[in-house]
Amino acid sequence: MSTWITICDTCKREDWDADTASQTDGETLADLIEAAAAQKTDVKTRRVSCLMGCGHGCNIAIQADAKLAYTLGKFEPDTDSAQAIVDYAEKHAQSTSGQVPYREWPQGVKGHFITRHPPLPTSE
């Protein structure tokens, strides 16, 4: 089963400058995550315009059917952050519940978790 990384492509960090930036911080991070995940078979990416976490930019969500989902934020739009996000998503994909033991978290995602969502019920 695939784990999805949903990337907010409208995120702008506090130091973002419209006069000097050619794209948003979210677009930069999205480009980097997509490149890092390009050869992964169990991790997919998608972009959305606004995850409504503007105070936590750059934001992403980690999701899969019938698994815990997570929102993470406050990332630098750089290759280290992108790789840590993809590495965590791979561990999420390998987990039956979506929960990844803390000792297995890549260093680059520690301190970036904002919310955890239980999976939706499968019946009413």
Share above pLDDT 70 across residues of the chain, in percent, rounded to a whole number: 100
Domains of the chain: 3-117 (3.40.30.10)
Q: Using the predicted structure, report yes or no on whether residue 13 has a pLDDT greater than 90.
A: no
* pLDDT recorded at residue 56: 87
- Give residues with Cβ within 8 angstroms of 18, minimum separation 6: none
User: What is the Cα 66 distance to its own chain's centre?
Assistant: 18
Contact 58, 95 (CB under 8 A): no
Mean pLDDT for the stretch of residues 5-13: 93
Distance between CA 35 and CA 45 in Å, rounded?
10
pTM of the model: 0.94
**Residue that has been written with the tokens 């970036």 in this structure:** 112
* pLDDT recorded at residue 14: 82
Classified as helix, coil or strand, 10 is coil
pLDDT range class, residue 50, cuts 50, 70, 90: very high
